[in-house]
């Protein structure tokens, strides 16, 4: 099968830039996909990061510290941009204006105003596909949750809980980095960093919160900087958002969304639980093979069933269904969905779950901005 190539520039070669590159390097893992990414350009303000890319990707033609070099190049069709939040607005707007497709990172603008400016640029350039990175719903358990939502066998939804939990910040000696600085990471703190992961499936289900009561905590208020000096660490570590949802398809119910940097013992734990009067479902990446369901009829016992999911992915791969699925597999699947949509449009995709949309990022910004207000006023804020 001859494959359509999408020539990518990567801006921001840190943690996430390398994850994308690694997914592109094992594209042969995917079966039956008629499109593939080729990395032709890289950009970072730190040139020391070029070597790993240059050593592993002979396709790279442009290495630069100025992202405009990628935008001006006719060797590049699309950009993956993974830079600190304070740069999202300018970088994303310039990428879109240059006519390059964009998979941008969350939170898609440091705040709501930045997000709105990015959406204006998108509206002015309908010819480019713009999506926001959010890979965790591509876990087999995430896909099963989406299927359950479609089947809607919950009866009346009692409650939805979703969250994203980390714990390494519990260490008071962990040095400060940009994700803990308000001017670079943003006022949202942990909510901006982790929120899109938590919102993606609920928003896709049509569960836009109509209000929010937020409890935000700053637990470690000082950290060492790179010179060993203690400096203020003012970002929110943990956030609990209790929302009311009114959904056309599923009625009204409460939804609790948690984004924690300090949840003792948790590492990149993403979960979503939907409790209903007739069916409940639970999934967490903490037990990535297990999908829990409980069907209930009047008078019956209430028993959770655990199904071992194996490797059941949105896009078929060479990996046998008896094996396990992990984080880097979810990144590969997300990239497959993005490239599939660039090549074939939403209607022509091989499967129906597309990456998070700019409108979904705007919906999550509306809640996060209201959450800041709610915490400040200690009251319920209507969205
Ligand atoms: N999808 C996910 O699971 C996930 C996970 C972590 C981070 N992220 C998001 O990815 C983005 C980047 O986070 P990261 O963890 O990769 O950060 P990082 O600090 O590891 O990488 C950011 C890179 O951007 C570079 N950079 C900074 N200023 C630049 C400039 N002016 N021009 C070019 N390059 C510049 C830095 O040198 C660095 O290499 C953020 O938006 C973050 O929220 C997403």
Dump pLDDT digits (tens) for 158-205: 999 999 999 999 999 999 999 999 999 999 999 999 999 999 999 999
pLDDT tens digit string along 223-234?
Answer: 999 999 999 999
* Spatial separation of the C-alpha atoms in residues 10 and 6, rounded to whole Å: 12
How much distance in Å is there from the Cα of 83 to the middle of ligand 1? Answer: 3
Under 8 Å between Cβ of 336 and 314:
yes
- Determine contact, residues 139/283, Cβ cutoff 8 Å: yes
Burial class (CB in 10 A: 0-12, 13-18, 19+), 288: buried
Q: Is the CB of 23 under 6 A from ligand 1?
A: no
Residue nearest to atom 19 of ligand 1 (CA): 14
Residue 2: the pLDDT is 84
CA distance readout (Å), 361 to 198, 314, 357, 364: 11, 22, 6, 5
Helix 112-124 to helix 358-377 angle (10° resolution) is 160
| Helix boundaries (H) for the chain | 15-25, 50-56, 68-71, 88-97, 112-124, 140-151, 182-185, 190-204, 327-344, 358-377
- Reported as a pLDDT band with limits 50, 70 and 90, residue 1 is confident
Do 134 and 108 touch, CB atoms closer than 8 A? no
Beta strands 4-11; 78-81: pairing state: parallel
- Domains of the chain: which residue ranges? 4-132, 140-325+357-382
Using pLDDT thresholds of 50, 70 and 90, give the confidence band for residue 357: very high
Q: Are 362 and 116 in contact (CB under 8 A)?
A: yes
**Does any ligand 1 atom lie closer than 6 A to the CB of residue 15?**
yes
| Span 316-355, pLDDT tens digits | 999 999 999 999 999 999 999 999 999 999 999 999 999 9
What are 36's strand-pairing partners? 5
Helix axes 140-151, 190-204, angle to 10 degrees: 40
Q: CA angle, corner 256, sides to 251 and 261, nearest 5?
A: 155
Percent of the chain with pLDDT over 70: 100
* Cβ(195)–Cβ(156) below 8 Å: no
- 150 C-alpha to ligand 1 centroid (Å): 34
For residue 311, pLDDT over 90 is answered with yes
Angle made by CA atoms 162, 163, 168, in degrees to the nearest 5: 170
**Atom 30 in ligand 1: which residue has the minimum CA distance?**
45
Closest C-alpha to 231, from 183, 186, 182, 176:
176
Q: What is the mean pLDDT of the chain?
A: 97
Distance 14 CA to ligand 1 centre (A): 6
The reply to whether ligand 1 has any atom less than 6 angstroms from the CB of 114 is no
pLDDT at residue 312 is higher than 90: yes
Q: What is the pLDDT of residue 219?
A: 98
Rounded alpha-carbon distances, angstroms, from residue 325 to 24, 36, 147, 315 = 17, 21, 18, 13
Count of other CB atoms within 10 angstroms of residue 315: 22
Distance 85 CA to ligand 1 centre (A): 8
Mutation test of ligand 1: which of 10, 11, 13, 14 has the most ligand atoms closer than 8 Å to its C-beta? Answer: 14
- Pick among 3.30.360.10, 3.30.1340.30, 3.60.20.10, 3.30.365.10: CATH of 140-325+357-382: 3.30.360.10
Q: Is 49 in the pocket of ligand 1 (CB under 6 A)?
A: yes
Confidence of residue 111 (pLDDT cuts 50, 70, 90): very high
Using pLDDT thresholds of 50, 70 and 90, give the confidence band for residue 68.
very high
Ligand 1: does its nearest atom lie under 6 Å from the Cβ of 106? yes
112-165 pLDDT per residue, tens:
999 999 999 999 999 999 999 999 999 999 999 999 999 999 999 999 999 999
Q: Whose CA is nearest to atom 9 of ligand 1?
A: 105
Mean pLDDT of 279-296: 98
Task: Report the SS3 class of residue 328.
Answer: helix
Give the residue whose CA is nearest to atom 14 of ligand 1.
15
Closest atom of ligand 1 to 178 CA is 19
46 CB within 6 A, ligand 1: yes
Backbone angles phi, psi at 254, to 5 degrees: -85, 150
The band of 93, judged by pLDDT with boundaries at 50, 70 and 90, is very high
pLDDT of residue 205: 97
Which CATH fold would you assign to the domain 4-132?
Answer: Rossmann fold (3.40.50)
User: Nearest residue CA, atom 34 of ligand 1?
Assistant: 44
Residue to probe by mutation, ligand 1, list 15, 135, 179, most atoms within 8 Å of CB? 15
Report the candidate in 125, 114, 60 with the shortest Cα–Cα distance to residue 83: 114
3 state DSSP class of 368: helix
Nearest Cα neighbor of 257 from 203, 293, 309 is 203
The residues near 77 (Cβ < 8 Å, ≥ 6 apart) are 6, 7, 8, 100, 101, 342
């Amino acid at each position: 099968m001859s494959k359509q190539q999408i020539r990518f520039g990567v801006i921001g070669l840190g943690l996430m830039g390398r994850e994308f590159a690694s997914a592109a390097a094992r594209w042969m893992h995917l079966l039956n996909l008629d499109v593939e990414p080729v990395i032709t350009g890289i950009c970072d303000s730190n040139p020391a990061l070029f070597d790993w890319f240059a050593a592993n990707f002979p396709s790279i033609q442009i290495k630069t510290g100025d992202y405009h070099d990628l935008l001006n190049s006719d060797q590049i069709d699309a950009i993956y941009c993974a830079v600190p939040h304070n740069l999202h607005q300018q970088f994303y707007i310039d990428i879109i204006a240059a006519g390059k497709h964009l998979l941008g990172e969350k939170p898609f603008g440091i705040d709501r105003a930045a997000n709105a400016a990015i959406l204006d640029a998108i509206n002015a350039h309908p010819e480019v596909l713009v999506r926001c990175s959010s890979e965790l719903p591509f876990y087999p358990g995430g896909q099963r949750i989406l299927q359950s939502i479609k089947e809607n066998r919950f009866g009346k939804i009692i409650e939805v809980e979703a969250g994203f939990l980390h714990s390494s910040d519990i260490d008071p000696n962990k040095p400060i980095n940009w994700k803990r600085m308000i001017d670079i990471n943003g006022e949202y703190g942990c909510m901006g960093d982790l929120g899109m992961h938590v919102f993606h499936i609920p928003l896709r289900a049509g569960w836009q919160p109509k209000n929010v009561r937020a409890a935000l905590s700053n637990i470690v208020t000082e950290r060492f900087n790179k010179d060993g000096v203690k400096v203020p660490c003012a970002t929110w570590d943990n956030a609990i958002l209790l929302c009311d949802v009114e959904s056309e398809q599923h009625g009204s119910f409460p939804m609790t969304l948690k984004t924690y940097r300090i949840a003792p013992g948790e590492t990149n734990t993403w979960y979503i639980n939907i409790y209903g009067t007739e069916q409940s479902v639970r999934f967490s990446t903490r037990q990535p093979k297990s999908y829990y369901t409980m069907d209930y009829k009047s008078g019956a016992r209430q028993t959770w069933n655990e199904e071992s999911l194996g490797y059941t992915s949105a896009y078929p791969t060479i990996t046998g269904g008896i094996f396990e699925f992990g984080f880097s597999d979810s990144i590969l699947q997300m990239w497959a969905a993005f490239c599939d949509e660039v090549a074939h449009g939403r209607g022509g995709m091989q499967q129906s779950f597309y990456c998070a949309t700019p409108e979904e990022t705007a919906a999550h910004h509306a809640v996060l901005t209201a959450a800041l207000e709610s915490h400040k006023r200690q009251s319920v804020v209507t969205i």
